[in-house]
Amino acid sequence: MKKKMLSAAAAVLILLTTLMLPVGAKSVTYAPYDGYEYNDYNESTAAPIGYLADTVYDSAAMGLESSLYEPTDMIYVDGALYILDGGNGRIVELDGKTMQIRTVYGEFKTASGEVKDITGARGMTLDVDGTHFYIANSEQCEVLKVTRDGTVVQVITRPDHALLDTEAQFLATKVVVDQKNRLYVLVESINMGAFVYDANGEFLHFFGSNPIVATGEIIKNYFWKRFMTKEARQGLARVTPTTFENFDIDQYGFLYTVTGNNSVVAQSGLVRRLNYKGSDILTNDIVFGDVEWDRVYGAESLTTSFADVDIDSEGYINLLDEGRGRVFQYTTDGKLIAEFGTYSEQVGGFSEAVAIETIGDRVYVLDSGKKSVISFRPTEYGAALREAFKLLSSTETEKAYEVWMSILKKNTNSQYPYYGIGMVYDAQGRYKEAMEYFKLAGAHVEYSKALREYRIEFINTHYLWLILGVAVLVALVVFIARFIKKRTAIVHGTAFSALETKYMFPVYTCMHPSDGFEQFKTRKIYSMRMSALFVVLWFFLSTMAFFYTGYSFNKNRAMDYQFLTTLFMTVGLFVLFVVANWSVCTLMNGKGSLKEITATCAYALVPYLISILIRVLLSNVLTVEESAFLTLINLIGLLWSLLILFIGLQSIHQYSFWGTIGSVLLTLLGMAIICFLLVLFYTLVQQAINFIRSIGMELSLR
């Protein structure tokens, strides 16, 4: 009777509110956030907004009699949106279209009549047929299976037999059901992965535990522990696998999990897509969330921390970042489609976002602080991007091209259209054009793949020329080899070969370092001019490598080229080494003069310089898979140079083998000391300036 009266009163209230409503109004739309996209350098660039909030459904707008209180979860199933109103211990069912209230599930009783209070429940889902709710009744440490009329048909509690080595409570937080009606339960207090139950509620196994990430902290602790007493060791916080914060299952049955995190910089691995074995099948190094470096301002800085994930109808990943109060939408390849939301008391802003759900291309965010559901719709730009990414994997290349061109028209800052058009050309077999577009898109891997195809095509069409080219190259190598061999023969009438002349000597030292550098002392045959030339060449080749290394291997931008840095890394390093070596060796009775040391070091550079040149040239025709060649060439050049240098130093200083090793080590130490002194001097000057400045400030204020 009482219930009837109450519902009558509710009806009256609804009637009243509908009568009070004006004919209509222009709803308030605003985006308190800016649109942006990340380029391939992880820098944000201005972009149109991808999603706009169009309505904030608070309890009154839903037609709810009493306001939501600490709602915790939200799911959308077959045209209905269910809100787990945790603080009130009830489930609210809304019409998915009108967002008007349909039913409130407020009383839960077991068959024996025992009332189950679900206040504080944190997760909810429906089974495959939509006949039963599963409720993660967190405060009671249980999961309830409830029919739609409120009868609790099963209470799932802690599977004790599987948890022998822990006494932790069964603090169930989130639940989800897969297509085979298996129930997955996340338990906050136990980090062994999700608990999996069959349709009858029998515990099956654990699933996909989150691996420990070997951070510096853990490694440091590992070493510290060796030196600690037992007590101190226990004092260290135990590092355990982080538990999943939330999960969702996509249409293919893959389980997506998100992990909360509190570091300022987003990391990879916070979002995972698990196959039936429980292993992550997302491309490894995708970093979800904001990747731009957040220069920290005291306690004010925001962090990336994912609270919920939802896979929408297109299979796109929607992530709710409660750290920044922002929603991120990604393709499964980790391409950021849109990001929206911020912390604010504005439409499109959040106060305490707890759950995210999608209906078609719309995104709904449940905000516990605002006691509302905020609905977002894609803008023209956002919708076009969604469409375009979808077309990437289709065969309709013509259509894809058009959509990508329309996006280019809306956002000339974006690299996506170039990527998309590159993919279109790639699919059409127009590899040359594809490569150009991939370059604009900053897509190195795709560029490399297109390059491989283009190379095959090129070889197929130009094979005659290529064979000819190879023949010429072989002939050239043979010629050079013979030339050198010829010249190594002792010239008649002298004690030396034709290579042992002043200007051919660098070639000679490459071949015969021991004998060659010996002659530095005996014949003074080194040339300071040529030494200088090699050092300068080093600088130029480094610069060339910066600009002209093939795009597959080259992530440098022309604007990032630093003249001074390059100069220091070549000429500066050379000078530092020579000076340090000279200082050390003078003390150690080395016989080499400064000139000799300089010439030795410069001549030793030759193989390395040649390797740089070859590497740069080859990098333009090789693909990423063949990068091992480049590494090999680099290694050969470097080792060759180091070997010559070592032998050279040994010769000119007339040290023993161990003496040379010792002098080289001391030289390195000397270099470090010189650097340290320079830095020290710089810091001291700076400190003095700061000190004077702060005194000035203090005086002016007090």
Partner 1 sequence: MIEAWEMSQGGIRVKKKIAALVSAMLLLLSTGVIAFAEAPTEETEQSKPVIMGVEEDTEDIYLTTYEEVASNSDSILYADMQKGHFALQDKSNGHIWYSTPNDSLTDNITIGSDKWGLRSQLIVRYLFEEDVLKAVAPSETNSQLSCIEEGSVTVKKIPNGIRVDYYFGDLGVTIPAEYCLQGDSLSAKILLDEIDEGDGCLITDINLLPSFGAGNAQAEGQLLVPDGCGALINFNNGRDRLAYESMIYGEDLIETPELKTTKTEAVRLPVFATLMDNAALMGIVKQGDGSASIRAVNGNENRGYNAVSTVCHLRSLEHLTMFEKKGNSVVGRLTAWPEGAEEYEVVYTPLKGEEATYVGVAEKYRNYLIEEKGLIAKVQQPSLSVDIYGGVDVKATFLGFEYSKIEKLTTFSQAQTFLEKLYAAVNMPLSVRYLGWSGDGILNKKTPAKATAMKKLGGQKAFTSLAEFLKGTDSVLYTDVDLMQFRKGSEKRAIKNVFNETVEQTERLRSVFTIRLGLDAVKFITPQDLYGKAETYLESVKRQGLTHVSLSTIGNLVYSNNSAKNGFHRYFFTGEMEKILKLYHEAGLSLSVENGNAYAAVYVDRIYDAPTVTSGYDIFDEEIPFYQIVFHGYVTMTTTPMAQAMEASSNILKTVESGSELLYGGMYAQSSVVTGTRYDYLYSTEFSLWENEAVATATRYRDLLNTVYDETITGHRAVAVNVMETTFSDGTRVLVNYTEEAVTIDGVTVNAGDYAVMEGVTE
Site for partner 1 in 540-599 (CB under 8 A): 558-559, 561-566
Q: How far is the CB of 262 from partner 1 (least distance, A)?
A: 15
Sole window of 72-80, 267-275, 410-418, 642-650 interacting with partner 1 (rule: CB under 8 A): 410-418
Q: How far is the CB of 65 from partner 1 (least distance, A)?
A: 12
Q: Does 335 bind partner 1 (CB under 8 A)?
A: no
> 364: which 2 tokens?
């709904």
Indicate the residue among 239 and 567 with the shorter CB distance to partner 1.
Answer: 567
Which of 1, 5, 164, 699: binder of partner 1 (CB under 8 A)?
5
How far is residue 358 CA from its own chain's centroid? 25
> 551: which 2 tokens?
């795009």
Q: Does 403 bind partner 1 (CB under 8 A)?
A: no
Q: Does 699 bind partner 1 (CB under 8 A)?
A: no
> 10: which 2 tokens?
């509710």
Which of 157, 169, 215, 694: binder of partner 1 (CB under 8 A)?
694
Q: Does 51 bind partner 1 (CB under 8 A)?
A: no
Closest CA to 253 of 206, 353, 184: 184
Q: Interface residues for partner 1 in 237-256 (CB under 8 A)?
A: none
Indicate the residue among 301 and 494 with the shorter CB distance to partner 1.
Answer: 301
Q: For residues 363 and 51, what is the distance between their CA atoms, to the nearest angstrom?
A: 9
Indicate the residue among 571 and 638 with the shorter CB distance to partner 1.
Answer: 571
CA atoms 581, 583, 589, 594: torsion sign: positive
Closest CA to 364 of 99, 178, 121, 64: 99
Q: Does 470 bind partner 1 (CB under 8 A)?
A: no
Contact 192, 158 (CB under 8 A): no
Q: Does 689 bind partner 1 (CB under 8 A)?
A: no
Size of the site for partner 1 (CB under 8 A): 81
Q: Does 427 bind partner 1 (CB under 8 A)?
A: no
Q: Interface residues for partner 1 in 313-332 (CB under 8 A)?
A: 324-325
Q: How far is the CB of 388 from partner 1 (least distance, A)?
A: 16
Which of 97, 205, 225, 409: binder of partner 1 (CB under 8 A)?
409
Instruction: Say how many C-beta atoms besides its own lie within 10 A of residue 446's C-beta.
Output: 20
Locus of tokens 């990001």: 339
Indicate the residue among 394 and 690 with the shorter CB distance to partner 1.
Answer: 690
Largest distance between two CA atoms of the chain? 128
Looking at beta carbons, which pairs linking 103-109 to residues 24 or more positions away fall under 8 Å? Answer: 104/64, 105/133, 105/146, 105/148, 105/150, 106/150, 107/150, 108/135, 108/144, 108/146, 108/150, 108/151, 108/152, 109/150, 109/151, 109/152
Q: Does 438 bind partner 1 (CB under 8 A)?
A: no
Indicate the residue among 92 and 407 with the shorter CB distance to partner 1.
Answer: 407
Locus of tokens 């904001």: 290
Query: Can you give the three-state secondary structure of 647-667, one letter per residue?
Result: HHHHHHHCCCHHHHHHHHHHH
Q: Does 34 bind partner 1 (CB under 8 A)?
A: yes
Q: How far is the CB of 372 from partner 1 (least distance, A)?
A: 8
Closest CA to 41 of 543, 444, 423, 332: 444
> 123: which 2 tokens?
């997760």
Sole window of 13-21, 81-89, 305-313, 385-393 interacting with partner 1 (rule: CB under 8 A): 13-21
Q: Interface residues for partner 1 in 266-295 (CB under 8 A)?
A: 290, 292-295
Strands (E), 148-298: 151-156, 172-177, 183-187, 194-197, 203-207, 244-249, 255-259, 271-274
Q: For residues 296 and 405, what is the distance between their CA atoms, to the nearest angstrom?
A: 38
Indicate the residue among 10 and 666 with the shorter CB distance to partner 1.
Answer: 10
Q: Does 701 bind partner 1 (CB under 8 A)?
A: yes
Indicate the residue among 36 and 574 with the shorter CB distance to partner 1.
Answer: 36
Q: Does 305 bind partner 1 (CB under 8 A)?
A: no
CB-based contacts of 512, cutoff 8 Å, min separation 6: none
User: 354: number of CA atoms within 13 Å, CB side?
Assistant: 24
Q: How far is the CB of 542 from partner 1 (least distance, A)?
A: 13
Closest CA to 416 of 433, 402, 399, 404: 404
Q: Does 32 bind partner 1 (CB under 8 A)?
A: yes
Q: Does 686 bind partner 1 (CB under 8 A)?
A: no
Q: Does 152 bind partner 1 (CB under 8 A)?
A: no
- How many residues comprise the chain? 702
Q: Does 24 bind partner 1 (CB under 8 A)?
A: yes
CA atoms 690, 693, 695, 701: torsion sign: negative
Which of 78, 129, 149, 698: binder of partner 1 (CB under 8 A)?
698
CB-based contacts of 545, cutoff 8 Å, min separation 6: 612, 615, 616
Contact 196, 182 (CB under 8 A): yes
Instruction: Say how many C-beta atoms besides its own lie within 10 A of residue 168's C-beta.
Output: 13
Q: Does 27 bind partner 1 (CB under 8 A)?
A: yes
Q: How far is the CB of 30 from partner 1 (least distance, A)?
A: 3
Indicate the residue among 3 and 485 with the shorter CB distance to partner 1.
Answer: 3
Give bridge partners of residue 317 from the DSSP assignment.
311, 330
Q: Does 9 bind partner 1 (CB under 8 A)?
A: yes
Q: Does 35 bind partner 1 (CB under 8 A)?
A: yes
Q: For residues 19 and 496, what is the distance between their CA atoms, to the nearest angstrom?
A: 111
Q: How far is the CB of 694 from partner 1 (least distance, A)?
A: 7
Q: Does 44 bind partner 1 (CB under 8 A)?
A: yes
Q: Interface residues for partner 1 in 52-111 (CB under 8 A)?
A: 52-53, 56, 58, 60, 67
Q: For residues 122 and 136, what is the distance between their CA atoms, to the nearest angstrom?
A: 6
Which of 22, 216, 235, 493: binder of partner 1 (CB under 8 A)?
22
Q: Does 697 bind partner 1 (CB under 8 A)?
A: yes
Q: Does 536 bind partner 1 (CB under 8 A)?
A: no
Which of 223, 227, 297, 657: binder of partner 1 (CB under 8 A)?
297
Q: Does 410 bind partner 1 (CB under 8 A)?
A: yes
Q: Does 349 bind partner 1 (CB under 8 A)?
A: yes
Per-position x/- string for 473-512, each x denoting binding to partner 1 as judged by CB under 8 A, each - no binding: ----------------------------------------
Indicate the residue among 124 and 291 with the shorter CB distance to partner 1.
Answer: 291
Which of 7, 28, 481, 685: binder of partner 1 (CB under 8 A)?
28
Looking at beta carbons, which pairs linking 570-576 to residues 24 or more positions away fall under 8 Å? Answer: 570/535, 570/538, 570/539, 570/542, 571/535, 571/536, 571/538, 571/539, 574/535, 574/538, 574/601, 574/602, 576/671, 576/674, 576/675
Q: Does 603 bind partner 1 (CB under 8 A)?
A: no
Q: Does 3 bind partner 1 (CB under 8 A)?
A: no
Indicate the residue among 524 and 693 with the shorter CB distance to partner 1.
Answer: 693
Q: For residues 447 and 552, what is the distance between their CA atoms, to the nearest angstrom?
A: 6
Per-position x/- string for 375-394, each x denoting binding to partner 1 as judged by CB under 8 A, each - no binding: ----xxx-------------
Which of 40, 202, 345, 398: binder of partner 1 (CB under 8 A)?
345
Give bridge partners of residue 94 from the DSSP assignment.
81, 101
Q: How far is the CB of 384 from partner 1 (least distance, A)?
A: 12
Q: Does 347 bind partner 1 (CB under 8 A)?
A: yes
Indicate the residue among 413 and 583 with the shorter CB distance to partner 1.
Answer: 413
Indicate the residue among 14 and 618 with the shorter CB distance to partner 1.
Answer: 14
